[in-house]
Amino acid sequence: MVVVMSPDATDEDVAQVVERVEEVGGEAFVSKGVVRTIIGLVGDIESFHHLNLRALPGVADVHRISDPFKLVSRQHHPERSTVWVGTEGRRVPIGPDTFTFMAGPCAVESADQTLEAAQMAASAGATILRGGAYKPRTSPYAFQGLGVKGLEILADVGRSVGLPVVTEVVDARDVDVVAEHADMLQIGTRNMANFGLLQAAGTAGKPVLLKRGMTATIEEWLMAAEYIAQRGNLDVVLCERGIRTFEPATRNTLDISAVPVVQTQSHLPVIVDPSHAAGRKDLVVPLSRAAVAIGADGIIVDVHPHPETALCDGPQALLGSELRELAQVARRFPPLVGRELATTP
């Protein structure tokens, strides 16, 4: 069961709902988004009915949810959500009315490389800078990122180009330091089912970008988002980045159908990562066109000033003519499906 609070509900109103639920032996999980607060209830449903929660101050509605993912379900939230990323003066929306273009280097290698990549991204129309300071890799001998130094570089570069930044966190112990430097936390595909990390990210006070696990079903993906929401954070953006199949022609298989499927089940925004789906720069633009056409709320792509020497995922990084072509897609295609390119104020 889910209690939806009114936009003008006070902290005292929320506390009263929680108190009433706990009085009958239930648990209440408070999750706050930009425009509403939702309280997920766990316990005896019949005892909750007797509480007459709808009559309490600040309560807008009460829903019994059949989906296993209660807080991120559209059953209680029929309109799709918008998540805002960044601080005053450089806040960017991700949601159903806009198309958000995120870009940057897959890995932060140096201050000069990150700044050059960020300038490339901004000139192409990107309004959120991505970059990895912690890089979980298949091989333990591959470049693992610069850690805190990389976070500092990314934050400095983001401020210099005027873009909010999103970066990956791979360990629950690092959530606080990543949140200190980033405007949005990314949970990568290898950590989608790292429930301790999901819960820690849910309490960090920053929006979360949750990538689909490479072998995860849509329900498993949404249940991972529920872990974040249950810890108080409804500002979650889902990212389809390709799943592992039998096909070796691409790095992964982009499940483009997942976008509208998820949008019918969840109110959370959904974006696409064509770079990691394809693993090839020549496919990034076609897949980005497909993302716009299918109704994705944005894309996140890799750019690098020197892909041939990149320490991570050089073959999929864009520059030059490919990046200019993608910039044209980002400007021209969203209006064809009733959206506008998201911009900073």
Please tell me the distance from the alpha carbon of residue 248 to that of residue 244, in angstroms, as a whole number.
9
Neighbours of 57 (CB within 10 A): 12
- Residue intervals of the chain classified under CATH 3.30.70.1140 are 2-63
- Residue 276 has φ and ψ, to the nearest 5°, of -75, -25
pLDDT in the model for residue 95: 96
Is residue 171 within 8 A of residue 196, CB to CB? The reply is no
CATH topology of domain 2-63: Alpha-Beta Plaits (3.30.70)
Q: pLDDT tens-digit profile of 23-37?
A: 888 888 888 876 678
Length of the chain in residues, anyone?
345
List b or e across 274-303, with b for residues whose CB sees 16 or more CB atoms inside 10 angstroms: bbbbbbebebbbebbbebbebebbbbbbbb
The tens digit of pLDDT for each residue in 67-102 reads 889 899 998 888 999 999 998 878 999 999 999 999
Higher pLDDT, 314 or 200: 200
Query: What pLDDT does residue 67 have?
Result: 86
Angle at 135 between CA 130 and CA 141, to 5 degrees: 145
pTM here is 0.91
- The answer on pLDDT for 131 being more than 80 is yes
Phi, psi values for residue 203, rounded to 5°: -105, 5
Asked if residues 109 and 117 have their Cβ atoms less than 8 Å apart, the reply is no
- Which residues face 100 on adjacent strands? 298
- Only one residue has tokens 């498993």, namely 220
Architecture of domain 83-341: Alpha-Beta Barrel (3.20)
Measured CA angle at 33 (ends 46, 301), to 5 deg: 125
Amino acid at 307: P
What pLDDT does 145 receive?
83
Q: Using pLDDT thresholds of 50, 70 and 90, give the confidence band for residue 65.
A: confident
User: What is the tens place of the pLDDT at every residue in 220-265?
Assistant: 999 999 999 999 999 999 999 999 999 999 999 999 999 999 999 9
For 296-312, what is the mean pLDDT?
95
Q: Does residue 170 surpass a pLDDT of 90?
A: yes
Residues of CATH 3.20.20.70 domain(s) within the chain?
Answer: 83-341
